[in-house]
Amino acid sequence: MQDLFKKFIYTGIGFISITAETLKNTVEKLVEESKLSSDEGKKILDEFTKNTEAKKKEFEEQLSKIVEKVTARFKFVTESDLQEVIKRIEVLEGKEPAEKTTKKTVKA
């Protein structure tokens, strides 16, 4: 579920990146054609970047809240919950609890 949200975020960032590049090219073209001063062009790009960063942070906060609500609603297991269960199982089996027993395997 979280991977889906991450992909969604990265897709949005990709669109913003394309938009930023298009805006930059358009501003450069207008500056070359003397329809816009260099300072005005820089100001437009700076404002766009500043607004984009603010909106990105706002979006990430909202999305994080949504993910938390979905996780709570569907009762997904968190990493800390999983680690606690693993430690309890190890204690019941008579093993020493490991710090982190879940390992990802890497295929060569």
pLDDT, one tens digit per residue, over 61-94 is 888 898 888 878 888 888 898 999 999 999 999 8
Query: What is the rounded distance in angstroms from the CA atom of residue 39 to the CA atom of residue 46?
Result: 10
Q: Which contiguous run of DSSP H or E holds residue 103? A: none
Domain count, the chain: 1
61 in any annotated domain: yes
101 in any annotated domain: no
105 in any annotated domain: no
16 in any annotated domain: yes
Check if the beta carbon of residue 9 is closer than 8 Å to that of residue 61: no
Q: Which contiguous run of DSSP H or E holds residue 47? A: helix 38-74
Q: Where in the sequence is the domain holding 63, given as residue range(s)? A: 2-92
107 in any annotated domain: no
19 in any annotated domain: yes
104 in any annotated domain: no
The pTM for the full model equals: 0.49
